[in-house]
Chain A
Amino acid sequence: MSQDHSLNPETMPHDPSKATTEGKHKFLGLWFFLGGETVLFACFFGTFIALRNSTAGGPTSQELFGLELVFLMTVLLLTSSLTSVYAIYHMKNNDFKKMQLWFGITALLGIGFLACELYEFAHYITEYGFTFRSSAFGSAFYTLVGFHGGHVIFGLSWLIALMVRNAKRGLNLYNAPKYNTFSLYWHFIDVVWVFIFTVVYLMGAVS
């Protein structure tokens, strides 16, 4: 296409991420993808709930979980969702620099979350000998939380690739949908974590 996709305040459409056909497709396609992801995580949650007391004599959730660390992780991830909202806000105001800045903060918070999760897993393994193979509970715990962590890693790679690729060329109708779909995906990861925090950690530590 010969027309220039870059935006200035005069050519700025109301929502650059949905101004093109491709953008609309991406937006809708990602929503449907998240519908499928919901089933995926629902099945992991179902498996975890069925097996969470099957510790086979190994460590139980009450012995393992410390809510301080999990609370910190929750704060980090929830805040990263908020900062991605700021980023999208700046996208709609056509302020590319501020958008990149807020997405940068989002990435840092996500990395912080991942670091905590790695520390948590390492802690369980070294201190309690609680692994993927210890019991059905162990398998279900590491699979559910690990798949969420895998989604975080994938999301971070996606975001970093986007930020690096577009660092020098500013916002346009080609890359705005990509940033927007990323932010939707990131919110979804956040929602899943809220359920993990409740079902895995709160219910595990209290019951």
Chain B
Amino acid sequence: MRDKREVYKLSIATTQKKGFGAVLWDYLTTVDHKKIGNMYIAAGAFFFLIGGLEALIIRIQLIKPENDFISAGLYNEMITMHGTTMIFFAATPILIGFMNAIMPLQIGARDVAFPFLNSLGFWLFFFGGVLLNLSWIFGGGAPDAGWTSYAPLSLQSPGHGVDFYVMGLQLSGAGTLMGGINFIVTIVTMRAPGMTYMRMPLFTWTTFVTSILILFAFPALTVGLFLLMFDRMFGSAFFDVALGGNAIIWQHLFWIFGHPEVYILILPAFGIFSEIIPAFSKKRLFGYTSMVFATFLIAFLGFMVWAHHMFTVGLGPVANAIFAVATMAIAVPTGIKIFNWLATMWGGSITINSAMLWALAFIPSFTIGGMTGVMLGAASADYQYHDTYFVVAHFHYVIVGGVVFGIFAATHYWYPKMFGRILHEGLGKLSFWLFFIGFHLTFFIQHFLGLMGMPRRYWVFLENQGLDTGNLISTIGAFLMGLGTIVVLINVVYTAVKGKKVSGDPWDARTLEWAIPSPPPEYNFKQLPLVRGLDPLWIEKTEGKGKMTPAEPVVDIHMPNGSIYPFIMTIGFFIASIGFIFQVDNNLWLLAVYFGMALALGTMVVRSLKDDHGYHIHKEDLEREAD
């Protein structure tokens, strides 16, 4: 057997001059959570751009009354793909990317619990997104039944669009579930010495609670997608009323998943702001314990309220009242959080830079979204708002004003940690103001459009009904948001090439991830740190030491081997998915199903037959590297 130490030395030598092929192979086979995090963010950003383009096309269509920029059918495809892409392939994966890149550093871990599974999860998400978008070319049209894909509309949808939706979401959902389990086990078992639960940073806490939500919410989507798949592809009768089916089952399953999904998105954003606001206020987070408690309460209530999406279905006044009260109750823990962020800043020494600007803008923006949420939660009033632009305005205030602001804030805050360079401040502020103004122009006016009776999902609106100006302003705002996004991209590319290099702790921050070099070495911590309280790095700074006390001597570090198997398995499932979609037209496509499944399952068998013990980085090498 080859000496692993030699291999490691070689790998240090070759990092300097790697060809494109070697880099590509490195990323295809990596099980390093930091690289996987980068890939999640890059892929998510790519899908974010696609989803954003679709949004702009929607807004161009609605720029004036009775416009004919795109056809009604294409419009349906656009709104479906915009929603599906943004939720499943942009917002969720980018957040999971930050969790991967940052959370293990925050708890002082050298790795995650299941590096192999982590890689598999990424590739399943990525190929799920690719599959969904291939529907534009091969599906005879993209899915057009809305991102909620309500039956029986989704059963009637012609072509293969909805089939691509089903298989794409099924693939990526399985990947997300794996990511969730990985994070939970990592946080439970791999915290550094002294990192008790109540010393964990809020971003780690929200990652933990979000992962629990993923674990219990995604299987409901899995089941719903299976039922839809069987109805569309194999002639079952779950939603076929003529054979006794019941279309409301889809709505229940979808929202049992779909409502927690909203909290899967917003809780990590809360975690991000709970890191940024204390760091730039130079104060510890106000009400830490109540923040943790509120996170759990929001997660719990998030599971109890799915039927508020179904007030007008006819569940009856008792069910509606229960779900209305549960929905409004969520405002309480959320309010606790809002006040805690404000109290954190109170009396603090506040630095306002791009990351902090996003956090500051988030508070009022998200609060507006929360208040309209309480309005929508009133079941009787919901009969008025239902399926109007008021709803569109509400959920964009929550998801853009909360989640997207959070993603941009995290980008500015953690970019130096992830890549060792700091984003350009001027460009950062420019992108913020463009996006922030654009966001409020786009969506604030939509509240009023909705109250005036403009329905959502409609392709055109009529002249002289008071909707013209509002829609025009909304479209202008959307373009400003697009411009802001482009400036962020320019900033990222510019910084990658010419950005200023920074030390491990450019913000003079408080948590453990800032105690190591930027970008972190592959083993994260040379010696596991000893955690002595909340904001461990800050404690060491205030006591004059400035760096963490090691909890162990320098020892050999056990590392997992890279593997190409996750990629091959995913290709197998991808081929099988295509087979499932097209076997309706021609039975020969079943061969693709068999081949794809054989490839995926065969790779699993090979993986289980071949032992993989990983390798060690020896302590002599660690000591030498530090010099």
A-side interface residues toward B, CB under 8 Å? Answer: 1, 21, 24-25, 28-29, 32-33, 35-37, 39-40, 43-44, 46-47, 50-51, 54-56, 132-140, 143, 158, 161-162, 165, 174, 178
Which residue of chain B lies nearest to A172 when distances are taken between CB atoms in the complex? B611
| Contact between chains at A54 and B608 (CB < 8 Å) | no
| Contact between chains at B613 and A174 (CB < 8 Å) | yes
In Å, the complex CA distance between A33 and B240 comes to 32
Which residue of chain B lies nearest to A35 when distances are taken between CB atoms in the complex? B215
B170-206 CB mask vs A (1 if < 8 Å, else 0) is: 0000000100011011001100000000000000000
| Contact between chains at A143 and B236 (CB < 8 Å) | yes
Would you call the interface of chain B mostly helix, strand, loop, or mixed? helix
| Contact between chains at B234 and A132 (CB < 8 Å) | yes
Residue of B216, B236, B249, B611 near A174 (CB, 8 A) is B611
| Contact between chains at B613 and A47 (CB < 8 Å) | no
Q: Please name all residues of chain A whose beta carbon is closer than 8 Å to the beta carbon of B252 when the two chains form the complex.
A: 46
| Contact between chains at A133 and B235 (CB < 8 Å) | yes
Residue of B189, B231, B256, B608 near A25 (CB, 8 A) is B189
Query: Any chain A CB within 8 A of the CB of B114?
Result: yes
Q: Please name all residues of chain A whose beta carbon is closer than 8 Å to the beta carbon of B339 when the two chains form the complex.
A: none
Q: Please name all residues of chain A whose beta carbon is closer than 8 Å to the beta carbon of B215 when the two chains form the complex.
A: 32, 35-36, 39
B-side interface residues toward A, CB under 8 Å? Answer: 113-114, 117, 177, 181-182, 184-185, 188-189, 215-220, 222-224, 226-227, 230-231, 234-238, 240, 242-246, 249, 252-253, 256, 558, 605, 608-609, 611, 613-614, 616
**A25 with B185, Cβ < 8 A, contacts A51-B244, A135-B244, A161-B605 known:** yes
In Å, the complex CA distance between A135 and B184 comes to 41
Q: Please name all residues of chain B whose beta carbon is closer than 8 Å to the beta carbon of A28 when the two chains form the complex.
A: 113, 185, 188-189
Ranked nearest first, the 7 interchain pairs of A and B with the lowest CB-CB distance are A54-B244, A139-B236, A136-B244, A43-B223, A40-B219, A39-B219, A56-B244
| Contact between chains at A143 and B246 (CB < 8 Å) | no
| Contact between chains at A43 and B609 (CB < 8 Å) | no
Select the residue from B181, B189, B223, B249 with max chain A CB neighbours within 10 A. Answer: B223
Q: Please name all residues of chain B whose beta carbon is closer than 8 Å to the beta carbon of A36 when the two chains form the complex.
A: 177, 181, 215-216, 218-219
In Å, the complex CA distance between A134 and B215 comes to 33
Residue of B184, B243, B609 near A32 (CB, 8 A) is B184
Residue of A43, A51, A138 near B256 (CB, 8 A) is A43
Min distance, Cβ B499 to any Cβ of chain A, angstroms: 37
Min distance, Cβ B107 to any Cβ of chain A, angstroms: 15
| Contact between chains at A136 and B240 (CB < 8 Å) | yes
In Å, the complex CA distance between A158 and B231 comes to 30
In Å, the complex CA distance between A51 and B246 comes to 8
**A39 with B244, Cβ < 8 A, contacts A33-B181, A51-B238, A161-B608 known:** no
In Å, the complex CA distance between A47 and B189 comes to 36
In Å, the complex CA distance between A81 and B117 comes to 28
| Contact between chains at B113 and A138 (CB < 8 Å) | no
In Å, the complex CA distance between A133 and B189 comes to 47
Q: Please name all residues of chain B whose beta carbon is closer than 8 Å to the beta carbon of A44 when the two chains form the complex.
A: 223
**A39 with B220, Cβ < 8 A, contacts A32-B185, A56-B242, A161-B605 known:** yes
Q: Please name all residues of chain B whose beta carbon is closer than 8 Å to the beta carbon of A134 when the two chains form the complex.
A: 237, 243
| Contact between chains at A135 and B243 (CB < 8 Å) | yes
| Contact between chains at A47 and B234 (CB < 8 Å) | no
| Contact between chains at B246 and A50 (CB < 8 Å) | yes
| Contact between chains at A54 and B246 (CB < 8 Å) | yes
| Contact between chains at B227 and A47 (CB < 8 Å) | yes
Residue of B216, B246, B605 near A39 (CB, 8 A) is B216
| Contact between chains at B219 and A133 (CB < 8 Å) | no
Which residue of chain B lies nearest to A52 when distances are taken between CB atoms in the complex? B244
Min distance, Cβ B484 to any Cβ of chain A, angstroms: 38
In Å, the complex CA distance between A178 and B607 comes to 13
**A29 with B613, Cβ < 8 A, contacts A132-B236, A136-B246, A161-B605 known:** no
Residue of A50, A137, A162, A178 near B249 (CB, 8 A) is A50
| Contact between chains at B185 and A54 (CB < 8 Å) | no
In Å, the complex CA distance between A65 and B226 comes to 25
Q: Please name all residues of chain B whose beta carbon is closer than 8 Å to the beta carbon of A33 when the two chains form the complex.
A: 181
Q: Please name all residues of chain B whose beta carbon is closer than 8 Å to the beta carbon of A54 when the two chains form the complex.
A: 243-246
With A47-B253, A136-B237, A137-B244 known, 20 other A-B pairs at CB within 8 A are: A28-B185, A29-B182, A36-B177, A36-B181, A39-B216, A39-B219, A40-B223, A43-B219, A46-B249, A47-B223, A47-B227, A51-B238, A51-B244, A51-B249, A54-B243, A54-B244, A56-B242, A133-B234, A139-B237, A161-B608
Min distance, Cβ A125 to any Cβ of chain B, angstroms: 14
Select the residue from A32, A51, A133 with max chain B CB neighbours within 10 A. Answer: A32
Min distance, Cβ A43 to any Cβ of chain B, angstroms: 4
Q: Please name all residues of chain B whose beta carbon is closer than 8 Å to the beta carbon of A136 when the two chains form the complex.
A: 237-238, 240, 243-246
Select the residue from A21, A37, A133, A137 with max chain B CB neighbours within 10 A. Answer: A133
Min distance, Cβ A90 to any Cβ of chain B, angstroms: 22
| Contact between chains at B181 and A29 (CB < 8 Å) | yes
| Contact between chains at A1 and B608 (CB < 8 Å) | no
Which residue of chain B lies nearest to A55 when distances are taken between CB atoms in the complex? B244
| Contact between chains at B113 and A29 (CB < 8 Å) | yes
Q: Please name all residues of chain A whose beta carbon is closer than 8 Å to the beta carbon of B230 when the two chains form the complex.
A: 132, 139, 143
**A29 with B219, Cβ < 8 A, contacts A1-B616, A136-B243, A139-B236 known:** no
Residue of A24, A25, A55, A161 near B609 (CB, 8 A) is A161
Listed by A's residue number, 15 A-B pairs whose Cβ atoms lie within 8 Å are A25-B113, A28-B113, A28-B185, A32-B215, A39-B216, A39-B219, A51-B249, A56-B237, A132-B235, A133-B243, A136-B237, A136-B240, A139-B236, A139-B238, A143-B236
| Contact between chains at A29 and B609 (CB < 8 Å) | no
In Å, the complex CA distance between A96 and B189 comes to 29
In Å, the complex CA distance between A39 and B242 comes to 29
Min distance, Cβ B556 to any Cβ of chain A, angstroms: 10
Q: Please name all residues of chain B whose beta carbon is closer than 8 Å to the beta carbon of A132 when the two chains form the complex.
A: 230, 234-236
Which residue of chain A lies nearest to B615 when distances are taken between CB atoms in the complex? A1
Min distance, Cβ A27 to any Cβ of chain B, angstroms: 9
In Å, the complex CA distance between A138 and B230 comes to 12
| Contact between chains at A29 and B238 (CB < 8 Å) | no
In Å, the complex CA distance between A168 and B226 comes to 40
Q: Please name all residues of chain B whose beta carbon is closer than 8 Å to the beta carbon of A43 when the two chains form the complex.
A: 219-220, 223-224, 253, 256
In Å, the complex CA distance between A39 and B219 comes to 6
In Å, the complex CA distance between A132 and B236 comes to 6
In Å, the complex CA distance between A178 and B608 comes to 10
| Contact between chains at A47 and B249 (CB < 8 Å) | yes
In Å, the complex CA distance between A108 and B421 comes to 60
In Å, the complex CA distance between A35 and B558 comes to 30
Min distance, Cβ A17 to any Cβ of chain B, angstroms: 15
Min distance, Cβ A69 to any Cβ of chain B, angstroms: 24
Q: Please name all residues of chain A whose beta carbon is closer than 8 Å to the beta carbon of B238 when the two chains form the complex.
A: 47, 51, 136, 139-140
In Å, the complex CA distance between A1 and B224 comes to 45
In Å, the complex CA distance between A21 and B188 comes to 12
In Å, the complex CA distance between A178 and B612 comes to 13
Q: Please name all residues of chain B whose beta carbon is closer than 8 Å to the beta carbon of A40 when the two chains form the complex.
A: 219-220, 222-223
